[in-house]
Amino acid sequence: MMRQAGRYLPEFRKLRDKYDFFTRCQTPELATEITLQPIRIIKPDAAILFSDILVVPQAMGVNIQMREGLGPYISPPVRASKQIKEIRVPNIQETLGYVLEAIKMTNRELAGEVPLIGFSGAPWTILCYLVQGQGSKTFDKAKEFCFSNVNLAEELLQKITDTTIAYLKEKVKAGCHVIQIFDSWGGVLSPKDHKIFSWKYINQIVVSLADIVPVIVFAKGCWYTLEEMASSKASALGIDWTCPPHQARKLAGEGITLQGNLDPARLLSPIAEIQKMTVQMIREFGKDRYIANLGHGMLPHIPVDHARAFVDTVKSYNS
């Protein structure tokens, strides 16, 4: 499940109370432990390496803080030509070696029990945080920057893309079996602008990786790109909960795997309702070329038994 290691687990909260966010990301032993927690507790079919999409711009030299109750905070926001010129495409081994070590450590602990998924943010989604300076519902300042400074936006997006490609290739070498790209904020763009500022760069990443590892692309709120994404080299497409399964399959076609798409808030429903909705979801997507998942990330106040009920229902499904 997306964000399957996290605040809904009491074991995670104990570590959160003891170590700050980026310490958890940057300490291989802690990242490994957090990655393994859901495998032990709710037993999904794959482990997702605990990390964050913003370790990439950190490695590029951007100062990023994670503030309690606010989330990512970048001060000053990246909006000037001089700032973008100073941002580097780094040596991945030197700047993100702690992630690679966590991958190796996690695989040793997993001992082949389940595959390990690595991930990154889409360049557009990372730009949103860097330019806006913090989270937002609209990312209006990020959009303003791109629409009024196209050349600067392209320069920044390309640097993020080049770094992401190098980073993900190293993650595969270190032992990730699948890669997922999260375009969490693609949905704030129009279809035309998504093609210009997001898909163009995601596709570079997909093309660079597709011959060495399966790549899943999750573009939240971007149902309108499914047909184009399905014609790319991506192995699977994540579907958010606002796109009905039949519509997703109609747009994407039969030749690509779909992943999704239960509303994470639905895991707050009674367990019997979770079980019923999960079975219905699988039937609507069809069991072939399909990965059962949520339509976005786990929420922090979901009961563990409810998360486990979702996983158990999928694993016991019998058509």
State the catalytic residue, choosing from 8, 129, 167, 290. Answer: 129
State the catalytic residue, choosing from 3, 24, 249, 266. Answer: 3
State the catalytic residue, choosing from 24, 52, 266, 290. Answer: 52
Judge whether 15 and 309 are in contact, CB under 8 Å: no
The answer to whether residue 52 is catalytic is: yes
The tokens describing 250, both together, are: 């109609």
The answer to whether residue 16 is catalytic is: yes
* DSSP code for 5: S
Burial 186-216 (b: 16+ CB within 10 A, else e): bbbbeeebbebbbbbbbbbbbebbeeebbbb
Task: Compute φ and ψ for 121, nearest 5 degrees.
Answer: -85, 150
Hunting for tokens 């019923």 — which residue is that?
276
The answer to whether residue 288 is catalytic is: no
Q: Tell me the C-alpha distance between 129 and 135, whole Å.
A: 6
Q: Tell me the C-alpha distance between 161 and 167, whole Å.
A: 10
Nearest to 184 by CA among 312, 71, 305: 71
Nearest to 134 by CA among 68, 232, 183, 203: 68
Q: Are strands 71-74 and 64-67 parallel, antiparallel or unpaired?
A: antiparallel
Q: How many helices, marked H, and strands, marked E, lie in the chain?
A: 16, 9
Q: Is 61 helix (H, G, I), strand (E, B) or coil?
A: coil
Judge whether 218 and 237 are in contact, CB under 8 Å: yes
Q: 125 in the Ramachandran plot: left (φ > 0), alpha (ψ -120 to 50) or beta? A: alpha
Contacts of 18 (CB under 8 A, 6+ apart): none
The answer to whether residue 3 is catalytic is: yes
Q: Which residues are catalytic?
A: 3, 7, 16, 52, 129
